[in-house]
Structure 1
Amino acid sequence: MAESVMRVLYGKGTSLNLSSKKINKVPECVSRLTNLSALLLNNNCITALPAELLSLQHLAELNLGNNALKEFPAVLGHLESLKKLYLFSNQITVVPPEVIGGLQNLVVLNLNHNRIQRLPPEIKSLRRLQHLSVLDNKLEEVPAELGHLTKLSEINLTSNHLSQLPQQLYQCKELTKLYVARNKLNSLPEGIGTLTKLKVLDVAGNKLSMFPVEFHLLPLNELYCEGNMLVRCEPMTSVQDEEVFSLKELVARFVLREDRNRSSLIHRMLPHYPILTALLASGSCCAICHGPFLTIWLECVHFISLRKV
């Protein structure tokens, strides 16, 4: 290990590989390698980073994967030249806002296999970020500020505890790959159809029952959606007969229509009949013609002949 450091120091090298050296701390002499652009420290037992690494102001790539870090190293917030940061397979639980806010030149951020519960709103500072991976953590939510990262091309949030994604996700117009498998998603954000560059979408192993409006407009090459509760929409042959409604349904529709007219006698008298008012409270209206109904509405439903399609 010492030979590697000395070789870089006297040879004015820009890359140092100390991966898989069984070290538990970063050698002090590394801070003297001020020309370093790449430092590989992965597959060791490192528990913290020394503040002296602040001198590595040209460092563009730092790999700390598969170590024993329990905290997001504070010194990273001062390494403004960092473009690639790998912190996978550690024991990190918190991403400090003040640290993440100082990494404005990051292009790649890998936080896979940690114990992170949330990402701070300050993640919006990573304006140049293209690849974000937080696979296999304990995320319960994703901040709306993710929508500020308009250069993101790939997001991996697989194997977390997410029940929803922020609506602002549709602002990431450069997104080509989105992985959110094995979460607790009940729905996908409306507006996802505007992601005109999205090629790969993995939503397998969630709780989805349907896709958003205009989902079919996505230019997907790959879609993984197994393990959900998606409603099966299969065309079936049917004959549209004239519907005979019950007297209860017909009267309810009449009362609901009259209740819309504030000057009608029924509208004025209805508050005196609380049981009837409670019954009509479960009524609704057609999304197409806005006609009121109590339990069923078929007037605007038209079956098509499969032979003509």
Structure 2
Amino acid sequence: MAVSAFRALCGKSTSLNLSSRKMKEVPECVYTLTKLSALLLNNNTITALPVQLLALQHLTELNLGNNALTEVPAVLGHVQSLKKLYLFSNHITAVPPDVIGGLQNLIVLNLNHNHIQRLPPEIKSLRKLQHLSVLDNQLEDVPEDLGHLTELREINLTSNRLTRLPKQLYQCKGLTKIHAARNRLSSLPEGIGKLKQLAVLDVAGNKLSMFPTEFHLLPLRELYCEGNSFVRREPTSSVQKAEVLTLKELAARLVLREDRGGVSLVHRMLPRYPGLRSMLLEASRCALCPGPFLTTWLECVHFVSLRKVGKLRSPLTVPVRARLCSYACFNVKGHSYYAVATRHVEPN
């Protein structure tokens, strides 16, 4: 190790590779290499980083993968020059908010193969982040604050314990790859159609029953969805109940229709009622009429050939959610939407 550091010092090198040296701590001489931009310390047994790391003011890449860290070193929150940080295969259980909030220039963050249960809301500070990987952890939730990462291109959440993804993830409109395989997702949030650059979607090994409404509009090149419990196209008799809309629903539909033109009195007055405006953002449009409505009256599904999704060449057909505003629309002949039936299993 000393030879490597000596050569780096004499040659004024900007990169130092100390991986696989059986080190328990970083040698003091490393902190004299103030011109370093890349420091590779992976495959050792390092348990902590001292404050002397701050001497490396030009450090942009730090690889601490496969070490013995039990927490993200606090000193990293002050190394604002960092652009690439690798912390994979350690024993980290949490990501401290104050540390993550100081890494505002990060482009790559790799936390794979740890024991992390949640990401802090302060992750929204990583406005330049393009690649986030938290594969093989114990994540039970993903913060809505991910929606602030507008530069995000790839996110890997594979092999965690997630039951949902936040709809705010779709505010990251530059996403090209989403990996969320082997979780516990029962649905994907609506709004996926906003991801106009999404090329790879991996949701294999979850509990999905169908894809969200705009799924078939995605420009996908790769889709992995095996190992889910998708609804099947099996005709069965339906029981239709009389439509009794609540006063709230009737009023919402009226306001939504008036607001649609953009010139009505209702449209001009809505900014004065932010609560109402926020509620109406959750509205949908009927797949048939296409009239606006607030509460899903009838959830349906249509079956889309993957040959019609992006540039996929798969012969498979997958169920895609559709929302109808009423049984009146559902009863119109000639459409390809099916109501979703829930099988009742008789007790033994």
- TM-score under structure 2 normalisation? 0.71
Is 1:138 matched up with 2:170? no
Q: C-alpha displacement at 1:28, in angstroms?
A: 1.0
Measure the CA separation in 1 of the matches of 2:114 and 2:224: 25
Measure the CA separation in 2 of the matches of 1:79 and 1:206: 38
In the TM superposition, 1:183-194 aligns within 5 A as 183-194=183-194
Q: Which residue of 2 aligns with 1:61?
A: 61
In the TM superposition, 1:242-281 aligns within 5 A as 253=242
Is 1:181 matched up with 2:213? no
Is 1:25 matched up with 2:37? no
In the TM superposition, 1:166-245 aligns within 5 A as 166-233=166-233
Tell me which amino acid in the other structure corresponds to 1:106: L
Measure the CA separation in 1 of the matches of 2:24 and 2:52: 16
- Give the percent of matched residue pairs that are identical in Structure 1 and Structure 2: 69
Tell me which amino acid in the other structure corresponds to 1:228: N
Is 1:299 matched up with 2:340? no
Q: CA RMSD in A?
A: 2.6
Measure the CA separation in 1 of the matches of 2:123 and 2:219: 28
Tell me which amino acid in the other structure corresponds to 1:119: L
Measure the CA separation in 1 of the matches of 2:128 and 2:335: 50
Number of aligned positions between the proteins: 262
Tell me which amino acid in the other structure corresponds to 1:32: T
Tell me which amino acid in the other structure corresponds to 1:299: N
Measure the CA separation in 1 of the matches of 2:226 and 2:159: 15
Secondary structure in structure 2 of the residue aligned to 1:67: coil
Where do 5+ consecutive residues of structure 2 fail to align?
A: 248-295, 299-323, 337-348
Measure the CA separation in 2 of the matches of 1:116 and 1:66: 15
Q: Which residue of 2 aligns with 1:86?
A: 86
Q: Which residue of 1 aligns with 2:121?
A: 121
Tell me which amino acid in the other structure corresponds to 1:36: L
Secondary structure in structure 1 of the residue aligned to 2:206: coil
Q: Which residue of 1 aligns with 2:151?
A: 151
Measure the CA separation in 1 of the matches of 2:197 and 2:208: 23
Measure the CA separation in 2 of the matches of 1:104 and 1:232: 46
Measure the CA separation in 2 of the matches of 1:169 and 1:119: 14
Measure the CA separation in 2 of the matches of 1:70 and 1:216: 43
Measure the CA separation in 2 of the matches of 1:38 and 1:303: 59
**What's the CA shift string for 1:42-76, capped at 9, x where partnerless?**
00010111111111110000000000000100111
Measure the CA separation in 1 of the matches of 2:62 and 2:51: 15
Secondary structure in structure 2 of the residue aligned to 1:109: strand
Greater than 2 Å deviation, 4+ residue runs: 284-291, 297-304
**What's the CA shift string for 1:207-236, capped at 9, x where partnerless?**
0001101110000011100000011247x8
C-alpha contact (below 8 Å) 1:169/1:189 kept by paired residues: no
Measure the CA separation in 1 of the matches of 2:232 and 2:327: 27
Q: For the structure 1 residues 131 and 303, does the alpha-carbon distance in structure 2 shift closer, same or farther, using more than 3 Å as the test?
A: closer
Measure the CA separation in 1 of the matches of 2:78 and 2:192: 35
Where do 5+ consecutive residues of structure 1 fail to align?
A: 261-283, 292-296, 305-309
Q: Which residue of 2 aligns with 1:162?
A: 162
**What's the CA shift string for 1:186-211, capped at 9, x where partnerless?**
11011011100000000000000011
Measure the CA separation in 2 of the matches of 1:4 and 1:285: 68
- Max Rg structure: 1
Secondary structure in structure 1 of the residue aligned to 2:48: coil
Measure the CA separation in 2 of the matches of 1:182 and 1:289: 36
Q: C-alpha displacement at 1:301, in angstroms?
A: 5.0
Q: Which residue of 1 aligns with 2:304?
A: none
Tell me which amino acid in the other structure corresponds to 1:118: R
Q: C-alpha displacement at 1:303, in angstroms?
A: 6.3
C-alpha contact (below 8 Å) 1:206/1:227 kept by paired residues: yes
Secondary structure in structure 1 of the residue aligned to 2:122: helix
Tell me which amino acid in the other structure corresponds to 2:107: V
Secondary structure in structure 2 of the residue aligned to 1:226: coil
